[in-house]
Each structure stands twice: as C-alpha cells, then as structure tokens.
Amino acid sequence: MTQSTEDWQTTAALIGPRAERAPDPIRVINESTELLKELRTPNRSAGGTFAELKGRYASACRTYFTAAAVSRRRVLAEEVRTQLSDLLFGLRAALERRIVDEMSATAFDEHFLREATKKSFFGVSAKQGVSIRYPLVSCVPTRLCGGRCYAHDGRDREIHHIFRGAINLYLGANFEEGTTEARAVIMDALGSAISHGIRAARADAAMAAKAGYHREPRIRFSHVGEMASTPDFTNSLARRIRELDPDMACVIYTRHPSARKLDPSLLRVNFTVEGSSDSRLRHAPSWARLVNVAWDGKLLPDAATNFLEHHGPNHSPPRGEGHVCPVSASEGAIQSCDAARCDLCFTPTVVRSKAFGADKRRILDVSVGKSYDPNRAVPN
C-alpha cells in the first residue's frame, strides 16, 4: 500500500524510532505472550477518537510488528519460528478485536463514520492494485494460514494498516446490523471513496495497458481479512460499484463459511482450500472458482490455480500436477499479476458439478457459455 510522508511521520511519532539492534527472539516471544494475555483480558472500553485509539494501542502494534518481523527472518531456529508463527494470528486478531470493540463502545458514531469512509477505505499499491482491507479477526483460519498469512509481511503488519482493517470491519459490521436507513447512510457516506476507488482502478488498468497488457479494471475485496464475514455489506458495496461502473470487476478471495451468501452476479469469487482433504470444500459455492494454497508445494490438480508458499523466508517448489500461479512460482522475480500477464483469478467465476475430481468435473464459464475439460486445459 502506498503511504504519504505524513503517514510515515505519524508512524515514527506513534511507535518511536527503529531499534538499533536486532531484537532477541526469546524476548519477543515472551513479550508477545504477555501482550496476548492482556488483550484477551476483559476490558472496559475507554472510547476516544480514532487518533487517540492509535496512540493507546501504538505500543501493542509495535510488539506485534516486531514479532511478525522476527518470524520472517531467513536465519532463525525452527522451534523459535514455530512458536512465533503460532502466536501471530491470535495476537493480531486480539489486538484488532480490542480496537473494534473500543470503536463500538458507543452507538454508531459520526466521527468513526467519517474516518471509515475516507478515500483510504481503498488501498492502492503496485502489487495488489486497488483493494479493500479487512482485519484478520474477520477470518476463520486454519492453523497453517493463521501464522503464514502475508498480512504478517512487510507493510501489511504496520499500525496504520491494522487500524484501517479494523475500521473497515467496524463499518461493515454496522451495515450488517443496521436498519435500511442506517445502511443507506453508510453507503452514501462511502460515495466519494467509491468514486476514488473506481478512478484508481481504471488508472491501474490504463497503466497496465501502457505497458502492453490489456485487462479489465478491477477492485480486490479483502486482499487480507474476510469481507465474506459481512456478506450484505460486501454485496451492497459491489452493487454500488457496478452501478457506477458496470465494467468494473469486483473480485474476492475467501475461505469463509459465509461465501455462499456472496452474490455471483456482482462478485467473482475465488474459494481457497488447502488440498483435497480440506473440510472447507463443503463450503465452496458451486459457482466459485476453486484455488489452492499449495503448502510445501503440494499441488491440487482440480484447482484452477495453485499458490505456492512464497511469503516469508521460504519458497516451496511444486510437487505433483496442477496449474501454478506464475507470481508465486517466480521466487520474487515477478511481483504482480500484471507483470505476469495473468488474470486467471479475475475472470468471471465458474460453475462446478457437485462431484469433486478432475475425472467427473467440467467447468462452465458463466460469461461466455463455453465448457472446458479440466484434463485438457485451464480456462483463462
């Protein structure tokens, strides 16, 4: 995500200067464990402004940031890496929950509505394009994805991004629980941000075209976190975007049990699993594209694409048969989907038969009515 000079100055004022020495991993584990206990202790919400909340939780954000950074070191004892990895999701989710709870301590607040509906509701970056951030507390993670999530990498673990995800969930949850009138107020308040997101997505597509790659403009819903956890808000937001720009592709990756509540006429849904034995396959909508997280390189041939482990210090080579995401296969050489000239995940979603298995499954591209034999080709 791009950040202004003002953001970086604010960050330095909130969390202080960088440490001169690399922190001791055992000390980081102990501090993170203590913080997690504190965050899970019932708390009487103190409330306050968005800026005051950032100040109050700046130290906790720094502790989490340090734990995430240390866990990604290339040289680190594996037992220490495992301990940190096991802590990361719970620590960040507890921190985010505290922040959301404090914002929710009073009735839906006009101050937080203004903060939530700023243009920064949409993030813009060279790698992700235009996207919407949700907090990890909205996820229902597996043990592996909780600690290995790329939300713990780079700038995604930084204080302003933690708070942006939290306030986006605050907005989505208030929409989900709100009356018809309250929902209209939220969607209207998002008007300027939505227009900004559409312009940014079109500029992003124009930049790709200038480099010789022509594709649709698109917005990624919850490139981290789970917007499927607030499906009414997510559907309504996609509907408003499509009303303003019918050519805009609204795309979401999800593994959430509420994925079936997403509207396939508005969203292109990539349902994520972890192998053929993943119990979440039962939650996969028949109209969603099936994608696989190939932990340790194990490919799922039935998936439209497989994402190799490529976040953090390790990169897993592919094992078995199946289409591999070119960005995840590149060991960092290709930084974005546009650079890879790939839009497989962003094209209209697909319909699968209930029978799971390449020998029984045929894929139907809803947009053009073409059927494909998955043993012969992957739709693109």
What are the strands of the beta sheet with 350-351, ordered from one edge? Answer: 350-351, 363-365, 370-372
CA distances 34 to 41, 54, 88, 97, 242, Å, are 11, 20, 13, 17, 46
- The better pLDDT of the pair 12, 89 is held by 89
Q: Angle formed by the axes of helices 78-103 and 159-177, to 10°? A: 50
pLDDT at 8: 44
Q: Using DSSP, state whether 221 is helix, strand or coil.
A: strand
* pLDDT tens-digit readout, 147-202: 889 899 988 999 999 999 999 999 999 999 999 999 999 999 999 999 999 999 99
- Nearest Cα to Cα of residue 52 among 129, 109, 125: 109
How large is the average pLDDT for residues 329-346? 88
For residue 352, count CB atoms less than 10 angstroms from its CB and return exposed for 0-12, middle for 13-18, buried for 19 or more.
buried
**Average pLDDT over the chain, rounded to an integer:** 87
CA distances 146 to 21, 32, 194, 312, 369, Å, are 28, 16, 30, 13, 37
At 33, list the tokens.
């464990």
Predicted model pTM: 0.87
pLDDT above 70 (res 240): yes
pLDDT at 316: 79
pLDDT at 16: 74
Highest average pLDDT, of 14-23, 142-151, 177-186, 272-281, comes from 177-186
14 touches 54 (CB < 8 A): yes
HEC states along 125-171?
A: ECCCEEEECCCHHHCCCCHHHHHHCHHHCHHHHCHHHHHHHHHHHHH
Q: Which residues are registered as beta bridge partners of 351?
A: 364
d(Cα 30, Cα 292) in Å, to the nearest integer? 34
d(Cα 345, Cα 251) in Å, to the nearest integer? 8
pLDDT at 7: 56
How large is the average pLDDT for residues 16-32? 88
d(Cα 51, Cα 64) in Å, to the nearest integer? 19
pLDDT above 80 (res 340): yes
Q: Which range among 158-162, 184-188, 243-247, 373-377 shows the weakest confidence by mean pLDDT? A: 373-377
pLDDT above 70 (res 374): no
pLDDT at 373: 30
DSSP code per residue over 320-334: SSS-B-TTTTTTTS-
Calculate what percentage of the chain has a pLDDT beyond 90.
71
Q: How many residues does the chain have?
A: 380
pLDDT at 73: 93
pLDDT at 264: 95
* pLDDT tens-digit readout, 57-77: 999 999 999 999 999 998 999
- The better pLDDT of the pair 198, 105 is held by 198
Cα dihedral: 346, 349, 352, 356 (round 10): 30
- The better pLDDT of the pair 361, 174 is held by 174
- The better pLDDT of the pair 370, 71 is held by 71
pLDDT at 154: 87
pLDDT at 312: 57
* pLDDT tens-digit readout, 27-62: 999 999 999 999 999 877 677 899 999 999 999 999
pLDDT at 275: 92
**258: which residues sit within 8 A by CB, 6+ positions away?**
228, 229, 231
- Nearest Cα to Cα of residue 100 among 189, 232, 230: 230
